[in-house]
Every structure is written in C-alpha cells, then in structure tokens.
Amino acid sequence: MRLAVFISGGGTNLQALLDGERDGKFQSKIVLAVSDRKDAYGLVRAEKRGVPVFVSRDQREIVKALEAREVEGICLAGYLSILGPELLTRYKGRILNIHPSLLPKYGGMGMYGIHVHEAVFAQGEKESGATVHLVTEVVDGGEIILQKKIDISDCDSPEEIQKKVLTVEHEIYPEAVKRWEENHETRLN
C-alpha cells in the first residue's frame, strides 16, 4: 500500500516506520509525511529519506495532498490534531494510530504524550505498553491491530516509563503495518 505518515513532533515513530520499510519489514511504501507543525523534527527525518512532506492544518488541503500522492493508508505517529470527518470518511478503515498505553486503559481525550505516563505512574501500574489500533471517530476506540506489554516496576518517574514504552512503540509499529497490509491485501483480493 502507498502510505502517508502524520506527525506533530520528533517523529521517532516515523523513523521506525521509515527504517522498517528500508529493512523490508513490510511491503508498503511511505510516499508522504504530513505535519500540522512546520517545525516538527519528523519532517527532517522524512526529507533525509527522500520522502515528500506536506505541512497544513486544513483538512481539505491535506486530502488534496494525499490524493495527489495516491495515498491508500494513513499511519498517525505522534500526531496531535484530531482528524476531521472528511479524512475519517475518505480513509475509513485505513487509518492506524499508535498509542503509548495498553488500550483501552489510559486512552481517550487528553491522554497523549507524557500525560499517559503520568496517569500510569500515579496509579502505580507495574506494567504498561503500546497499542496500534484502527482510527474511528471515537478517540483511541478502534479495533486493536497489535499490542505489547512491558514491565515498568523499576521505573521511578513518568519520564522513565515514557522512554521504555517508546522502545516498544518503535518495535510494534512496523510489525502492525505488516499484519495490516497482509490482512488488507487479502480483503482486497
């Protein structure tokens, strides 16, 4: 599949996907990086790999850019804007997101970035992890594609949890794309 990756920040998950494509972990091709912030470092990562970038917060403009690159699937990777109805309907069933917790726990509105790990830490959880799921109009509510747990009983701060969970994210996103494209291809055939 032709994929677009949506970012808002550092883009370490985008990097994991770019490296996964390079290393043949999945067949899909990343043909566009979209960001709602022009200073997102993830844009530099994309350009270094020769992937075109597009910066906008206008849903209609974004849809036009996706169509121009004949994008078939979207991977949200640290993307902080909520997708509008146009994108959700246009790409229904073909949008993935990675969330830094064991959904459905610690998901939903306001649960993003360090806030997730602060809540996990405050609760005294002994394990956390990351989840790749299909995106629907319910924030963090779609079908789970892949989830992996990690022991955090030795973490003394939300930041330590975040660091550990990020390594799990980088591990599972390429694997999730592989499972998704295999499943998607079979559905198409």
- 117 labelled catalytic: no
Q: Cβ closer to ligand GRF: 127 or 185?
A: 127
* Residues of this chain, 82-101, that bind ligand GRF according to CB under 6 A: 98, 100
User: DSSP for 34-94?
Assistant: EES-TT-HHHHHHHHTT--EEE-S-HHHHHHHHHHTT--EEEESS--SPPPHHHHHHTTT-
Tokens of 130: 């990351």
CA-based nearest residue to 83, from 8, 164, 188: 8
Q: What is the nearest approach in angstroms of ligand GRF to the Cβ of residue 128?
A: 11
Which 8-state DSSP code applies to residue 151? E
Verify binding: residue 73, ligand GRF, rule CB under 6 A: no
Q: Cβ closer to ligand GRF: 21 or 169?
A: 169
Contact 18, 30 (CB under 8 A): yes
Q: Cβ closer to ligand GRF: 71 or 77?
A: 77
Which candidate in 99, 117, 133, 170 is catalytic?
A: 99
Which residues of the chain form contacts with ligand GRF (CB under 6 A)? Answer: 7, 9-14, 42, 77-78, 98, 100, 113, 169
Active site residues: 99
